Every structure is written in structure tokens, then in C-alpha cells.
Amino acid sequence: MKKKIFVLLFLPWLMSSCDVAESLIKVVEEEAPLTQQEVTRGLKEALRVSADTAVNIVSTVNGFYGDQLIKIYLPPEAKIIMDNKDNPLLKAVGITKLVDDAILGMNRAAENAAKSATPIFVNAIKSMTINDAFAILNGSDTAATQYFRSKTYSQLKNSFKPKVKSSLGKPLVGNISPNQAWTSLTSSYNDVAVFTGWNKVNTQLDEYVTNKALSGLFLKLKEEERQIRKDPKARVTDILERVFGENIFK
């Protein structure tokens, strides 16, 4: 408060210097408490930056495949294939390459589908209320991500699944589609399973890959939100610095 009074008393004299005046105005603005509108605008900006960055990361080539945290591996039902991949019968049918092709194809399908997330996130940001903003403000360091999840998950799944299904049918790896790679893998395994007594594997990939793609996207959103909250370098706009630089976020 004393700093503000000092500025007001000596403002006429100090205004003779534009540089000094601008600096003092900035001090006053930084000293002023955040308004509800600023908090809302800052949190909307945080959501926008986090969403843009996360979508850009996962939708590029190798966005999923090259990231061990979100890379999509074979479905749990196919664990028996991996457990027995060194079996001479499976080696004879080229099981290692079949596994590699299936995994790469699934990740490519997820990367393609992720591009459709942006407009859904944009709509969620536009509909954000002051109450939503302060719930995020007073929540955990992933509260914004949780807001996104609650507002967009169903829409994202409805958007992702047909795109994943379509991508799984396209030749994403060489001239082979992920579905073809998966069918080749499971058929080759199932042919051997007849002689070994192993359980057969019959899994539809679209539901599995869709769920894994969404899990990976929201994991990246969490990482981006935490960066903005904790790292000043991640606050790439003035409003982010203004809002997330306040002690109430620490």
C-alpha cells in the first residue's frame, strides 16, 4: 500500500520521464490484486497453451511411438504371444516382425486420430465459467486437465474411435494396414496355438487403441499444465505470467 501512495504523490514530477512512468505503471499493475476476469482469462490461456502443445506433441509422427510413457503396445490379451515369442514355432513364422508391425501401426493410428482433439478442446475452453476457473485455481496441479477430461472425454472418444478405426484399415506401415498386421500376427500365433494348447487371441483393436490414445493425450496435458504452474519459462504470454506468478498458485 505504501508503494502505491508514494507513486500517486510524486506522479506529476515523475511523468516528465516516460521510461520512469511506464515502469511505475507496471509496478502498480503488478501490485494490484487479480480480478475474477484476469483469473478466468489466465486459466483459459493455460488450457489453450496446454492443449495446443499436448495435441501437437502426440499428433506428430512418432508422437506416440517414440515416447515410452505413452507408446501403445499389444493389448493385454496378447500377453501370451509375448510370453512365448521365443518359441521355435513362433520364430519360424516371423513373430518378431509381426509384433513390431502391429505395434507401429497402432501408434500411427493414435497419432492420426489425435489431430481431431483441438476443436473439442477449444469448445471446452470457450464454455469455461468463472466458477470453473476458481475450481481449477483452488484445485491440484492437474486441476485444469481434470476439467478437460470431465468436459471432453466422451466427445473425444466419439471423435477418436471412427478415426482410429479408419486408420487401422489404411496402409500406415509400408503397404500394410495395422489391421492386416494384427490379423497376420494373431493368425500366425493362433495357428501355432492349435498345436501347443495355448489360448487363442481374438481382439478388436479400435476400442483398445482409442482408449490408449486418450490416455496418452491426457498424460501429456498433465505434463504441460504442471510446467505452466511451476516453470516461469513455460508461461509464454503476459497473462500466464501475471496469473501463475501469483503466490496463490504456489
140-187: pLDDT as tens digits = 899 999 999 999 999 999 999 999 999 899 886 667 888 888 888 999
**Do 223 and 231 contact (CB within 8 A), yes or no?**
no
Determine the Cα–Cα distance for residues 225 and 175; give it in Å rounded to an integer. Answer: 39
Q: 207: part of which helix (H) or strand (E)?
A: helix 205-230
One-letter amino acid identity for 21? Answer: A
How far CA 90 is from CA of 20, 101, 150, in Å, comes to 77, 15, 44
Q: Where are the beta strands (DSSP E) in 15-174?
A: none
> Residue 12 has what pLDDT?
46
Domain ranges across the chain: 1-32, 35-249
Average pLDDT over every residue of 107-122: 94
**Do 104 and 65 contact (CB within 8 A), yes or no?**
yes
User: Is 5 a residue whose pLDDT tops 60?
Assistant: no
> Residue 106 has what pLDDT?
93
Q: Where are the beta strands (DSSP E) in 59-161?
A: none
Query: In this structure, what are the phi and psi dihedrals at residue 149, rounded to the nearest 5 degrees?
Result: -60, -45
